[in-house]
Amino acid sequence: MNKFAVAFAAAALMSLAACGEKPAEPTNNVANEVVVNELDNAANAADNAANALDNVANATNNVAANAAH
């Protein structure tokens, strides 16, 4: 899910709260799923960044090892 979906879900819940309406359970579930998906995406992005740094470190080590020969 993208940031637009998160903003839309939040806006929908806030509009229901402003009207004094209790959001339906499916609405709550969708909003919670959006938040969980965003957290998963952030964790995956952090993993990808760590992997990229590992790749750079490995490449640097390979260059240094080849230069030593």
pLDDT digits (tens, 9 = 90+) for 14-67: 766 666 656 566 666 777 777 777 888 888 899 999 999 999 999 999 998 888
**In the chain, what are the domain boundaries?**
3-68
Model pLDDT, residue 49: 93
**31 vs 45: CA distance, rounded Å:** 21
Model pLDDT, residue 29: 74
**64 vs 59: CA distance, rounded Å:** 9
